[in-house]
Amino acid sequence: MLGVLTVAVLLVVAVDRTFGHSSLAFAAAIILLLIANAPMLRFNCGRCGKNAFFRGVVVVPWPNRICTRCGLDLAADHSQKR
C-alpha cells in the first residue's frame, strides 16, 4: 500500500511538472488508491464480520490478530485467507 501511495504521489507530481495542474491526475491517483485498497476491505472476521484493519475509525496497514469486537483469533482462522 505504501508503494501504491508513492506511485500515486509521483504520478501527480510528474503530471503537474509536465503539463501543469490537472484534476485528471488527482482523479487517476484516487482511483489507483481505491483499487489497491480493495483487498484490505475483504479481510473480515469470520464470526462477526468486522474488518481486521480498522481500529475504531482509523485504518492501519496491518491486520489485528484478535478481533476487537468478538475476540476471535484471526491468526488461527484460515477461512478468510484464500
Same domain, 30 and 7: yes
Q: How many domains does the chain have?
A: 2
User: In this structure, is the dihedral angle defined by the CA atoms of residues 28, 58, 76 and 49, taken in order, positive or negative?
Assistant: negative
Rg (CA), the chain: 17
Domain span including residue 33: 2-41
Residue 34 to residues 17, 28, 55, Cα–Cα distance (Å): 24, 10, 19
Same domain, 80 and 48: yes
Same domain, 50 and 81: yes
Same domain, 36 and 60: no
Nearest to 36 by CA among 13, 75, 73, 9: 9
Measured CA to CA, the distance from residue 79 to residue 82 in angstroms comes to: 7
pTM of the model: 0.62
Digitized pLDDT (tens) for each residue of the chain, 82 residues in all: 789 999 999 999 999 999 999 899 999 999 999 999 888 888 899 899 999 988 888 888 888 899 888 989 988 755 555 4
Same domain, 22 and 55: no
Same domain, 27 and 49: no
